[in-house]
Amino acid sequence: MRAHLRTVIVLAAVAGMAATSQLCAAPKDEIRSTFTRFVNAQNAHDLKGIEGLLADTPDFLWIAPGHVVRKRDAALERFRELFKGTWRVDPDWTTFQVLGLDVSTMEVFVRVRTSEGAPPRDAQMNVIVVNTGRGWRVQNIFVSGA
């Protein structure tokens, strides 16, 4: 009887760990997909694509060297200005990491190379994404120099 109970407990624990790891993996895959779409929209200079990926929240904040942008509309205006030039962002996907802050908030860490003309700059990008009723959206962007 004890051996049977022990087996049941072990199997339940293993099943629980497997389910938890699958739940953790799914959001991270969704976050990578969202971030990939964010990068692709930037490189295509697709303002509508960017607009669909930015969280429409008063807490939106974008900090980059020389710029602090508050609110989604101001961010869209900043992207509009960047897109007039040769703006491009290229992530080093080998450095891509996702940290779960809670069930609806994740943080992306990735090294990137940005170009707004010449020469390109290496930077660390941290992006906070939140799960909304319309899927994962970018709420905060923090870019620091190399």
- At 3, is the pLDDT very low, low, confident or very high (cuts 50, 70, 90)? low
Asked if the structure places residue 9 within a domain, the reply is: no
Reply yes or no: is the peptide bond before residue 27 cis, omega within 30 of 0. no
pLDDT at 12 over 70: no
Complete DSSP assignment for 45-68: T-HHHHHHHB--STT-EEEETTEE
The model's pLDDT over 58-108, given as tens digits with 9 standing for 90+, comes to 999 999 999 999 999 999 999 999 999 999 999 999 999 999 999 999 999
Residue 11 lies in a domain: no
The pTM for the full model equals 0.80
Closest-CA residue to 144 (of 40, 82, 70, 66): 66
The percentage of residues in the chain with a pLDDT greater than 70, rounded to a whole number, is 82
Name the residue range of residue 104's domain: 27-145
Q: CATH number for the domain including 64?
A: 3.10.450.50
- Residue 82 lies inside a defined structural domain of this protein: yes
> Does 52 map to a domain?
yes
Q: What is the pLDDT of residue 2?
A: 56
pLDDT at 146: 60
Flag whether 93 is in a domain. yes
β-sheet bridge partners, residue 129: 106, 138
**Number of domains making up the chain:** 1
**Radius of gyration of the chain from its Cα atoms, rounded to whole angstroms:** 19
Structural domain includes residue 80: yes
